[in-house]
Structures are given as C-alpha cells and as structure tokens.
Structure 1
C-alpha cells in the first residue's frame, strides 16, 4: 500500500486507538464501548480526508480492536503507511538558511528512522534554533511539496508549559522569529513572532496531532 498518512495523522489515530483499548479494559458496558469505538473512528476519518478504498479499510480496523496485542499490530501496519520526513542534506539546509554564514549542521542520520512533522535543532553557541517543516503537496491546489526553514531565538524556561504545536504539557522553551514584514505600530522595527514549544522536539513529534498551530506560526512569520 502507498504511503498516505502524515505523522500527525498517525499520532491521532494511535491516540484514538489507545482510548478504545483503554475503554475495553476498564468498562464492562458494551454499549459504552461501541459508542467510544464509533466516536473514535468518526474522528479519525474526519482527520484523514480523501482516503482510497484500501486506505479507508486499513484505518477502519480501529473499530475491530479488542486487545493490546491487536493494537500493536495495527500501529505497526499504520506506521508502514506513514510518510517519512524528506531526506535532508547539508547543501539543502544551507539553501534554507542562506543568511547564516556559519550554519552548524546537526546529525541527520536519525531523520529516516521515524516519521516527523518538523525537524529542529539548536546552536548553543549562538542560542539560535532552526526549524525545518515540509509542507505536503496539496492535491486540490495542485502544488508540490515545499521545505520551509525558520530561524529564531531560543530561550529555555526551565518550567513546565503547554506546547503551542502539540498542545501537551511538558518542559517548554520560547522560540521567537522575526517576521518578514515590519511592525505596523513601529515601522522602524520588524515584528517578532514567538511561541512556547516543547524542549524535547522528539516528544513533540510523537504527540502532535494537528497542523493548525504550526502552520499559523509559519504564516505569521512569512507575512
């Protein structure tokens, strides 16, 4: 089967599937269990529009899950159909951040091991954070996929906060970037756009289940 799920969609399906298994384990009311299954499947199908017949059939197996062992098999099959993050090279990264004269290239060997929604690393020497996002091709807009690079300041808070991207609590850092357009209130200065995001980007990539906040952050910087 072709790769058809994005990382955030895979995460969302897994979250709903775990909810189903948890309900089966803790609830003896079959009607409640069936309601949870129906609701979970409905949410998943809404989050994964445009599925082909075979793709939909795979996703709908969520409604057949009964045990933790079946959940693991289901997750494994979904993972095999999840789109991996594009391979990144040093020349690509330098093109994404052309104004950075001494770009410190991170270890790229782990990129193909796990699905990602975004890739990020920190240069501790300059306190800069670099974020790379791959915007998937939009079939309805007939556009090709695009790599987007965001450079910004990184400030560790040493506090627990809610990540803007994955909406989960955890150790947070403040990531701020300069927008392309100047501030309307002070034309001599550019706008700064910032969000609190997970300090652990690997955890964030496992937890993120929708793209609205990340896309909005990128759009705000691009304006």
Structure 2
C-alpha cells in the first residue's frame, strides 16, 4: 500500500476530469470522441503528478479502462485514501504567523478535515479581517487582510469558479528600491466568501502561491 501522495487541489482536479469523462461515456455515442476525452483525461492527470512512482501512476491511470458510473465512483473513492493532509497548525504556530494580532480568533483546528484543505482560511466578521495560512516552499505562511463582502457572485481568483465572493485586500511587504519609509501598497482580489467552498473547488495552486509571495515580499524568480 502506497502512502498518501495526492494533495487536495490535485484530487479536485481528478474529480473534475473524471466527471467530464463519465459524462462523455454516458451521453456520447461516438467512440472516437470518448477516446479523445479519455486520452485528454489521462494526459492532464499525468501532468499533475510528474514525480509519481510507477505504482502511483498505475493507480491513477486505471481510470483508462473504465466505462460505467459505478466504476468512476469506486475509482474516486479509492483515491480518497491517498489524499495528503494539510500541515498540522498548532495554537503556538498560529501566534507566530500573526504576531501583531493580539486577540486572534482562530477556528477550531481540531474540527477541520485537513485532507480537504489547500489552505486554511477564516474571517473575523467583527473586525472585517480575513486570515489565510498556506504552505509555501515547505513552510507555513500567514497572510492577513481586509475582508469586504460583496453580496454577489463572481470568479474567485484562487479557484477560478463562479461563487459568492468578497474582496480580500492585503498590504504587501515588498518594497521597490529607494522606496520611502512610509511606502504602502495593497493587493486586492476577489476570493470565495467561503474558504470551505474554495478548498473544494481549487484545482491549481499557482494563483495562491503567487499571491502569497507578492504579499510576503518574496522574489518569484
């Protein structure tokens, strides 16, 4: 039995691709079209796991022989056992991530299913603040910003899905050369109002990593 190797966003991607393949198999009569969808599914899954072992590849590519709805469902159910958990975040770590926040109202970390997380996000409605913890280069990084509800649906910059969003605005620590001491720049993006919904939708971490690097002031080169 192989150890967990699938991250939440990768599992979401597999679910999306398998759903498309299942739909093709059950609604399209042209076998060539179905085969094209099947090959596209395999290619995208393979691209998402460039470092997979032979055993892991065989497990992922077993979807190639499936035709029926129950087969696809069993495949996804089997892969669930290999989803990695997001890093454990302790109360002490939380204090280090947000040292300037004296009364941090963190969520109940023990009640969260960390296998369903690409990032940990929550809001403090009383102060209109949003907190986001992500893994960057093997380390936990915390981002804090203003959370402004919009009461409308739009495209989330993280998961790229049409959901109810809020404007998340964070001040970047990055400063250009020769910037004055009072230099100030905020980065704002529309993000899912529900972090749980966002985590269930996200299939790629590029936008998340780019945003976090921009805020914490790390060079992306």
**TM-score by structure 2 length?**
0.92
The correspondence of residues 65-144 of structure 1 with structure 2, limited to 5 A, is 65-112=66-113, 114-135=115-136
| Alignment RMSD (CA, Å) | 1.7
Rounded Cα–Cα distance in structure 2 between residues aligned with 1:100 and 1:29: 59
Alpha-carbon offset, residue 114 of structure 1:
3.7
Match of 1:149 in 2: 142
What do the CA deviations read for 1:177-220 (whole angstroms, capped 9, x no partner)? 11113467973332101110111111111111111111110111
Match of 1:194 in 2: 188
Alpha-carbon offset, residue 13 of structure 1:
1.0
**TM-score by structure 1 length?**
0.91
Rounded Cα–Cα distance in structure 2 between residues aligned with 1:186 and 1:161: 35
Alpha-carbon offset, residue 21 of structure 1:
0.4
How many residue pairs get aligned? The number is 215
Structure 1: give runs of 5+ residues left out of the alignment.
Answer: 138-144
Structure 2: give runs of 5+ residues left out of the alignment.
Answer: none
What do the CA deviations read for 1:42-68 (whole angstroms, capped 9, x no partner)? 011011111100000011012122122
Match of 2:160 in 1: 167
Contact 2:158 2:202 in 1 (8 A): yes
Rounded Cα–Cα distance in structure 2 between residues aligned with 1:157 and 1:114: 29
